[in-house]
Amino acid sequence: MAAGALDPLTLADDVERLVATGIAAQARALALARQENAASFVPDEVLAARIQDAQEQVGESTAYFLDRLLPDLIRGLSDADGAAGLVTGLDRTITRLDTDGQVPVVTGAVVTEFDAYRAKSLRLSNALTAAAGRADAKVATLAGVLKSEIAALDGPDGAIAKARAGIAATVKALDDDVNAVVTQAKAVGSGVKGFLTDKVKFATGILTDFGGKDTTPPKAGEKPKDTGKKFSVTGIDVERAGDTGADTASSGATGLDAAIAAFKRDNVELAALYQRLYRLNAAMAVAAALTDQITAYAGALRLTAVAAANVTTTWETCLARTDGALDTRPSVEAALAKVTDGWAELSARLRHARMAVAGGRGLIPDVGPLLVRTP
C-alpha cells in the first residue's frame, strides 16, 4: 500500500487560501462593477471614448468572474466537502461488505469521484489563469489610457495648473475691476462737485454785480454815479458755466458702467474656472482611484488563479498516492485509520469557508457607490 492513500494532505489549507483570494477578488470586482463611467469626467472627447471603451472591457472581465468563475469556486468547496463525506461513508461501509471482492468496486467508485473533483478543479484553475491573463491585458490598456489622462491633468503644464493660473489671473482682473469702479465713481463725484461749484459761483456773481451800480451812498447834493461796470463773474465762462464738471461726471459715469460690466464679466469667468477646476480635480481623483482599483483587481485574480492551481495539484497528489492502494479490505481499513480525522477536520474548516464566501455575504464588504460621483 502506498503511504498516504486517501490523505487529504494540505487540501484544507489550499482550499481556505482559495476562498480568501476569491473573497478578495470578489470585493475588487464588485468595486469595479459599481464604478461609474470615468469618461464622464474627461473633457477631451477622444480620450473620454478611449477610457469608456477600456473600462467596459475591464467590466466584462469582472462580470465573467462574478457570474461564472466565482460560482465554480463555491462548487469547488462543495466538492472538497463531498470528498470528506465519501471518506466517512467508506469508513462506515467497508466493514459491512460481504466479500472482499466488493472492496475494489466500492473504493474504485470513491477514486472515480476524487478524479472528477480533480478534473473540475483543473478546469477552474485553467479558467482562472486564462481570465487573469485577459484581465491583465485589459487592465494594462485602461491603466495606459488613465496614465495619459493623469499626464494631461497633472504637472506644471497640465490642465489643472492652467485652470489655477486662469483663476489667479481672473482674481487679479477682479481686483483691477474693483479699483476701476472706485476710480470712476470718484470721477463722477468730482464732476458733480465741479458742476455745482461753477453754478454757485455763477449765481453769486449775479447777486453781487446785478445792475452794475455803485452802492456807495452819494454825498449831499450829488446824484448817484454810474460806475460803468458790466455784468461779469470772475473765472466763469458765462456761456459754459458748469459744463466742465458735467463733462467730467458724464465721462466718469460711462467709465463706471464699463468697470461694473467688466467686474460682472470677470466674476462669471471666475465661477466657470472654479467649476472647471472642480471637474479636473474630480477627473484626477477618479483616474487615480480607478487605476488603483483595476490594478488591485488584476492582482487578486492572479492570486486566486494560483490558489486554484495549488488545489488542483493537491488533488492530483492525493489521487497518485491512492491509485492501486485500496484493493483489499485490510489496506482500506489501514488507510482510513490514518485519514478519517483529517477529513473530518477539513469538513469543519470548509463549513466556515463556505459561509464566508456564500453565506449571506458575511465577509464581503459593501463597497458602496463611486468615490466621486458625476457632477
Model confidence pLDDT, tens digit, residues 138-171: 888 888 888 877 777 776 777 778 777 888 887 8
> Which residue's entry shows cell 446785478?
210
Give, as one character, the DSSP assignment of residue 34: T
Expressed as residue numbers, the domain containing 45 is 11-155+288-358
| Residue 306, CA distances (Å) to 142, 173, 198 in order | 24, 61, 98
Judged by average pLDDT, the poorest of 49-58, 191-200, 276-285 is 191-200
60 within some domain? yes
Rounded (5°) CA angle 295-300-301: 100
Instruction: Mark out the alpha helices in 323-371 (DSSP H runs).
Output: 329-358
Predicted confidence at residue 256, as pLDDT, reads: 61
Of the candidates 74, 107, 4, the one whose C-alpha atom is nearest the C-alpha of residue 317 is: 4
Give a yes or no: residue 327 inside a domain.
Answer: yes
Q: 213 forms bridges with which residues in the sheet?
A: 226
Helix, strand, coil percentages for the chain (3-state, nearest 5) = 80, 0, 20
Give the CATH number for residue 296: 1.20.1170.10
Structural domain contains residue 44 = yes
Does 281 fall in a domain?
no
Partners of 226 in beta bridges: 213
Torsion angle, alpha carbons of 157, 161, 166, 167, to 10: -170
Q: Is residue 90 part of a domain?
A: yes
In the chain, where do the E strands start and end? none
Q: Looking at the domain assignment, is residue 1 inside a domain?
A: no
pLDDT digits (tens, 9 = 90+) for 340-365: 888 888 888 888 777 776 654 444 44
Q: How confident is the model at residue 310 (pLDDT cuts 50, 70, 90)?
A: very high
Give 227-245 pLDDT, tens digit per residue.
544 444 444 444 444 444 4
Mean pLDDT, residues 315-325 taken together: 84
Task: Reply yes or no on whether the pLDDT at 123 is more than 70.
Answer: yes
Residue 226 — very low, low, confident or very high, per pLDDT cuts 50/70/90? Answer: low
22 inside domain: yes
Number of domains into which the chain is organized? 1
Q: How far is CA 164 from the centre of its chain?
A: 21
- Residue 304: pLDDT band (50, 70, 90) is very high
Residue 282 lies in a domain: no
What integer pLDDT is reported at residue 127 of this predicted model?
95
